[in-house]
Amino acid sequence: MIKPNKLNPGATIGIVSPSYHIDEKIFKHSTQLFRERGFNIIEGKSVRLKDNLYSGTPKQRAQDINDMFANPKIDAIICARGGYGANRVLPLLNFEIIRQNPKIFIGYSDITAFLISITQKTGLVTFHGPMLTSYKDGFVEYNYKHFIKGLSGEFPFTIEAHRDLQLRVLKKGKAIGPLWGGNLCLLSNRLGTPENLNTDGIILFIEDVNEQCYRFDRMMVHMQKAGMFANIKGLIVGELVDMHDTDPLFGKNSDEIVMDVCSDLEVPIVTNFPCGHGKYQATLPISISAELDATTENPTLTILESPIV
């Protein structure tokens, strides 16, 4: 694996918007929060571009990422927001530039596709974590604390849920393995493509937003039939924000769906973990060894090795 340099105080953060266009008010508000904490901000060209829903054409968005990695002034890259559009951008990325200029790259939601592909194709550790839109409703101390801790070299370190977020243990146990995952829709869409995620021996984390129960069930069954759960060491389900049912009712909630699909697995299963679209978002390093301890009603995830140098 290639590990990026740690995030030092006063570092320069580049902002890219590789999927949907970000609202100007959210951009100004969130970047100011980072400036107030001593970071320098360089905005990518994609932040100011607009092509229907997107921050520019696929070519423009890909070039912005390539340029950010190639720019020696940039220490870390944060994505402005997710949405949709990564699948059009990925084929246009210069993975050799990324490999030769390793940097922190962080985001979630549609950014899952970038995280997985970059790590798969270059070996660079990427990070599933908060973006600018994570702070659109105000500063979230939990997110920022885990962001700094996860990128500054304090390892091993343990992630516990915020006191307002009650984790649920569906199956008890303890597991160690490399941490991979992201948005459920993006992971299931990769099935049958060259970018399919090999889940053998990993701790898998998934999350999603604004899904109906039957669609969540459909994706889970699809992944099960494709063998994605067969050889995992542990399963973490993040906050499933705005999960709703149909009329007539599907009849099962998200936990029941998870257990309906994964009850035969002899691995620890935890739900409502702080990753994804909820208010509380931990920073999770893709491909780095971790331990999921779900032996009690207060499960923890410990990152066992430093993802940065």
Tens digits of residue pLDDT in 111-121: 999 999 999 99
Residue 292 shares a structural domain with residue 218: yes
**Cis preceding-peptide flag for 248 (omega within 30 of 0):** yes
Residue 130 shares a structural domain with residue 203: no
Burial of 247 (0-12, 13-18, 19+ CB in 10 A): exposed
pLDDT of the residue at 12: 98
4 in a domain, yes or no? no
Number of domains in the chain: 2
151 in a domain, yes or no? no
**How confident is residue 154, by pLDDT bands cut at 50, 70 and 90?**
confident
Q: Which two tokens stand for residue 16?
A: 């890219």
Which of 70-74, 155-159, 227-231, 268-272 has the lowest average pLDDT?
A: 155-159
CATH at 90:
3.40.50.10740
φ, ψ (nearest 5 deg) of residue 189: -70, -20
Residues 11-41: tens digit of each pLDDT: 999 999 999 999 999 999 999 999 999 999 9
Helices 254-262 & 213-225, crossing angle to 10 degrees?
20
Q: Are 136 and 27 in contact (CB under 8 A)?
A: no
Residue 129 shares a structural domain with residue 164: no
147 in a domain, yes or no? no
7 in a domain, yes or no? no
Residue 62 shares a structural domain with residue 129: yes
Burial of 193 (0-12, 13-18, 19+ CB in 10 A): exposed
- The residue segments making up the domain with residue 271 are 157-303
Residue 28 shares a structural domain with residue 98: yes
pTM of the model: 0.98
Q: Which two tokens stand for residue 220?
A: 């889970």
- Would the pLDDT of 153 be above 90? no
Starting at the edge strand found earlier in the chain, the sheet holding 127-128 runs: 40-43, 12-16, 76-79, 104-107, 127-128, 284-285
